[in-house]
Amino acid sequence: MGLQYWTDRINAVIDETDRFSSQQERAKRLLIRLRSSDRA
């Protein structure tokens, strides 16, 4: 499973969790970490 798959999954979680801001922040941090590790 590639980076795009996980990016889409995490974005879906972010879209669904606007009421749960701590979970949304965690998802955003995970997305940033995924992208930075992909470049490394």
The pLDDT tens digits of the residues spanning 1-31 come to 688 888 888 888 878 776 667 877 888 888 8
Q: Between residues 36 and 19, which one has the greater pLDDT? A: 36
pLDDT at 20: 65
> Domain span at residue 31?
3-39
Instruction: Quote the tokens at residue 39.
Output: 């470049």
Query: Domain count of the chain?
Result: 1
Residue 39 has pLDDT above 80, yes or no: no
pLDDT at 27: 83
The radius of gyration computed from the CA coordinates of the chain, to the nearest angstrom, equals 10
32 vs 19: CA distance, rounded Å: 21
Residue 40 has pLDDT above 70, yes or no: no
